[in-house]
Structure 1
Amino acid sequence: MHQAPDLSARERVSLRVEIAIILLVTFGLSGVNAALSLLDSALRPGGVGGQTVALNPSRAAQSLIDLLFQLTSALRLVAWAALGLYLLWRSGIGPRMIGLARIRFRDGWHGSVLAAVIGLPGLALYLVAHALHVSVTIVPSSLGDHWWRLPALIIASAANAVAEEIVVVGYLITRLRRLGWSENSSLPASALLRGSYHLYQGLGGGIGNVVMGLVFGRYWQRTNRLWPLIVAHTTIDAVAYIGYTVLRGHVSWLP
């Protein structure tokens, strides 16, 4: 859904400031931190390929406190998504208008297909990048063997998906449209943002997520349905987190 760029100069400045603030609060600053992390990894002994990054590390020795840390991290991501939705709503763009109408069976089916299209090549890209020493060793989960480990990983997967797809796709592209950006200009901007905050994983992670951003963003531009992206992203992360937990130490090909 396009909106005519009929903004005054003041409104344009206001909108640009809003975008800058939300990106600094959320994934824009994460992108800067990820780039610095990649640079730090490259300068360490062993280079990028010699480093290890835990995506869901244990945060406390005491089980209950660790669980609260995990839930707090997930809540922060949901809050980022809520901020994006609120700012759009304040300007007259409700959740339904960016594709968050009632979820349908077809959304789940499309999400599953997107997960397969992105997830399987993504795994292959990671394994190749790791073999070439341009990717860190990714540890999707290093949580202790607590009763809440699997539910916490699923919650983390869903929180990542909700935050990224709402802010990076639904919010950002909608705002760039309002500023008069074309679909072909806003799409790579969204995809590059997605790739930037995954650079801590190495060049492979950054490139893979740019491709994911291009596919997800174009799907949303053509369908205006955000649920399939959230379903797909949740599925990809959940399979990675839980699959690693189950397969670790039992297969030779997993770094």
Structure 2
Amino acid sequence: MTHPNEQPAADLPLARPVASPAAGEEPVVWEPVNQPLVMAREVPFLSPLLMSKREAWIDLVLLLSIMIGAFGAVIVLLDSGGWQPPIETQIAVQAFGFGALALAATHWRLRAHGQNPAVIGLGRDRALPALGWGMLALLGCYVMNVVLVTGYVAIRGGAGMDHLMTEKTEVMSLVAQTPTLVVFPLTLFVGLYEEIVFRGLFLSRLKVILGGNAWPVVVSSLVFGFFHLGQGPIGAMQATVIGALFGVVAVYRRTIWSCIVAHAALDAVAFFLAPLLQYYLSNFNQNMPQ
């Protein structure tokens, strides 16, 4: 099956004769036509790509290896005492450095296949639909988080509530220490690079490997949750659920711009409300019956 923007291989003029042969002359000399082939780089997000499963696997393995390697190197460096900056500096450096590395790796793999950003969901989109769907996705994040937290506490009872409050207090305490001047660009950048990597590159490659849309969304959201284990098990579960929601939006809209809007807004609200949430969570923990 040929994509509408593609020409069948048989119809592409790959070469042309320099001149018609005359009687007794040498055979026709052919020279290449200076016309680029229409390749996968013009295929929109989540449409069939002109790449093999092996190539898609290589992209995912390389990207995961780079990200896990960088994450592990930071942990080893911190544990060894070789790098002990203030916590707010750690958060900023890790987020910007890790994100820049992930984006560079994504750009590298796109160039390796001659693909443009539209292949990973960064094609043209209209502003109002992108913002509207982004706000709907943001609302969906809060609804799903309430359901998840309520279910967790209902299953685990008092121990679940204690675990939840302790974990969130620790996370918000770290976030609250980040300077305001760092918070705004950080929230925008994290939302941008995580969606490009986990919804953009991962979904496009997983669709080549697994086919369909459901399994690529499930697997990419699980990987997204894995990379949020640093926020604790509850934080990782929340990231997995949010990743699944963003994956559904990306599949439905055939773009990741709404996901970027929702992700950046979600992080911005969390960062800017962190001091207030830290205060209330700390008081709640102190007043909980022992």
Question: What pairs up with 1:75-86 in 2 under 5 angstroms?
Answer: 75-86=97-108
Question: Does the 8 A contact of 1:153 with 1:241 survive in 2?
Answer: yes
- 1:243 Cα shift? 0.2
Residue 20 of structure 1: aligned partner = 61
Cα distance in 2 for residues equivalent to 1:91 and 1:71: 30
Residues 4, 95 of structure 1: alpha-carbon distance in 2 compared, 3 angstrom cutoff:
closer
Question: What pairs up with 1:1-255 in 2 under 5 angstroms?
Answer: 1-3=46-48, 7=52, 12-26=53-67, 59-60=85-86, 70=92, 73-102=95-124, 104-122=127-145, 125-126=148-149, 131=161, 133=163, 136-137=167-168, 138-140=170-172, 142=174, 149-249=179-279, 252=283
Cα distance in 1 for residues equivalent to 2:198 and 2:245: 13
Residue 39 of structure 2: aligned partner = none
Question: Does the 8 A contact of 1:71 with 1:152 survive in 2?
Answer: no
TM-score, normalisation: structure 2: 0.63
TM-score, normalisation: structure 1: 0.70
- 1:126 Cα shift? 4.8
Deviations 1:52-110 (A, max 9, x none): xxxxxx9339xxxx669725631431331242133124313311233223451321222
Deviations 1:92-146 (A, max 9, x none): 3311233223451321222122112103542674586551526723423536878
Cα distance in 1 for residues equivalent to 2:237 and 2:175: 27
Stretches of structure 1 lacking an aligned partner (at least 5 in a row): 35-57
What secondary structure does 1:202 align onto? helix
Residues 69, 190 of structure 1: alpha-carbon distance in 2 compared, 3 angstrom cutoff:
closer
RMSD: 3.5
- 1:199 Cα shift? 2.7
Equivalent residue letter for 1:109: G
Question: Does the 8 A contact of 2:249 with 2:258 survive in 1?
Answer: no
How many residues are matched? 221
Residues 151, 177 of structure 1: alpha-carbon distance in 2 compared, 3 angstrom cutoff:
same
Residues 177, 253 of structure 1: alpha-carbon distance in 2 compared, 3 angstrom cutoff:
same
Q: Which range moved further: 158-167 or 93-102?
A: 93-102
Residue 4 of structure 2: aligned partner = none
Equivalent residue letter for 1:122: N
Stretches of structure 2 lacking an aligned partner (at least 5 in a row): 1-45, 76-83, 154-159
Q: Which has the higher contact order (CA 8 A, sep 6+)?
A: 1
